Amino acid sequence: MSQSSLPKFASSLYNKLAIVTNLQLRQTHSQKRTNLLIKPKLCLYIIIQAYPKSQLFAPTISRLPRFSLPKRADIYYNKSMNIQKILSGMRRACSELKLIDDADKIAVGVSGGKDSLALLAALAAFRRFSPERFELHAVTIDLGLGADYSPVQKFCDSLNVPYKLEKTDIGDVIFNVRKEKNPCSLCSKMRRGALAGAMKALGCNKLALGHHADDLAETFLLSLFYEGRLSTFSPKAYMSRSGITVIRPFVYITEADVTALARDENLPVVHNPCPANHNTQREYVKNLIKNITRDIPIAKERMISALTHPERNNLWN
């Protein structure tokens, strides 16, 4: 279909679209696919609504192939860009920080929350074009608090990722036996030990966790306020006792992007039955950062930037 057959106002918008947008052709050589990214989406959306079943030709100067506009292209655009943004950040982390090697057997620690499910989905997509060949497994540690993980099993089946559910009595030990007032630290250590045991049974050498950039900043403030240390987690750490390497491929990705992906892909987030859920020191720090960013909008971004660029540090020696 030619430009001239469009309605007059849509034709005008089409001309503007050809001038002001950045039309970028991405060729995936391994799969011989082309993805056309079009901005701004609002202009494109108006044209689609005006002519929903049309096919447009890109400007001849761009030498781009003809493409079909899907229905509800605004939703399609957002979903496409969200997953691409996640994969781009993860690919950068894996490349710069050497998180994944050839022949790795990676277990994703899946709690059932949005972060771990998003990480599993992203790694499942990433393995299709990653320069390193790796094997993927999903492992859940059931704390014995009554959570239903059957949706996670179905999700793993859809991704063709083997799933292991390890049942434990960690919840009973923490809340009934020891009656911990601040249970998160002990629970984390016990879950990590259970994960190590499950990984050894599977023959996995790396554990992937869904910690993102917001977690990086929150952990730093937790260490500063409650321990008096300038410390946070590392994107890659070797655990000498278990012989397992912990990696965090989402370390450059914000929680907002993870939340958007979880919403767009309708990830099967499992309700967390933990009695301490949303009533922890980490939750307090998360809300504190939100309050700070109301007055200083760039505060969280600057914190993350400082933590991921240690060469800028200027502290006492």
Distance, in Å, from the CA atom of 224 to the CA atom of 155, rounded to the nearest integer, reads 38
User: Given this model, what pLDDT does residue 103 score?
Assistant: 95
Q: How confident is the model at residue 63 (pLDDT cuts 50, 70, 90)?
A: very low
Question: How do beta strands 33-37 and 104-109 pair?
Answer: unpaired
Render the chain in DSSP notation, one character per residue. Answer: --GGGS-HHHHHHHHHHHHHS--EEEEETTTTEEEEE-S-HHHHHHHHHHSTT-EE---GGGTPPPEEPPTTHHHHHHHHHHHHHHHHHHHHHHHHHT---TTEEEEEE--SSHHHHHHHHHHHHHTTT-SS-EEEEEEEEE-SS----HHHHHHHHHHT--EEEEE--HHHIIIIIS--SS-HHHHHHHHHHHHHHHHHHHT--EEE----HHHHHHHHHHHHHHH-------SEEEETTTTEEEE-TTTTS-HHHHHHHHHHTT--PPP---TTTT-SHHHHHHHHHHHHHHH-TTHHHHHHHHHT-GGG-----
Q: How confident is the model at residue 15 (pLDDT cuts 50, 70, 90)?
A: low
The HSE-up count of residue 74 (CA atoms within 13 Å, CB side) is 8
User: Given this model, what pLDDT does residue 184 score?
Assistant: 81
Distance, in Å, from the CA atom of 23 to the CA atom of 40, rounded to the nearest integer, reads 10
- Listed in sequence order, the residues at least 6 apart from 77 whose beta carbon sits closer than 8 Å to its beta carbon are 38, 41, 44, 45
Question: How do beta strands 236-239 and 67-68 pair?
Answer: unpaired
Distance, in Å, from the CA atom of 65 to the CA atom of 60, rounded to the nearest integer, reads 9
Q: At what angle do helices 41-50 and 73-97 cross, to 10 degrees?
A: 150
Residue 285: what residue type?
V
Question: Lowest-pLDDT range, 126-140, 180-194, 297-311?
Answer: 180-194
User: Given this model, what pLDDT does residue 44 score?
Assistant: 52
CA angle 172, 174, 180 (to 5 degrees): 140
Domains of the chain in sequence order: 7-71 (no CATH), 85-312 (3.40.50.620)
Per residue in 111-123, pLDDT (tens digit) is: 999 999 999 999 9
User: Is 23 a residue whose pLDDT tops 70?
Assistant: no
Q: Which two tokens stand for residue 135?
A: 């094997």
User: Given this model, what pLDDT does residue 273 score?
Assistant: 84
Q: Which residue has the higher pLDDT, 227 or 32?
A: 227
Q: Are 221 and 289 in contact (CB under 8 A)?
A: yes
Distance, in Å, from the CA atom of 270 to the CA atom of 141, rounded to the nearest integer, reads 13
User: Given this model, what pLDDT does residue 66 score?
Assistant: 42
User: Rounded to the nearest 5°, which phi and psi values hold at 138?
Assistant: -120, 135
Per residue in 149-176, pLDDT (tens digit) is: 999 999 999 999 999 999 999 988 888 8
Using alpha carbons, select from 63, 64, 62, 54 the residue that is nearest to residue 3. 54
Distance, in Å, from the CA atom of 35 to the CA atom of 253, rounded to the nearest integer, reads 23
CA angle 303, 80, 254 (to 5 degrees): 15
User: Is 81 a residue whose pLDDT tops 80?
Assistant: no
Q: Are 220 and 232 in contact (CB under 8 A)?
A: yes
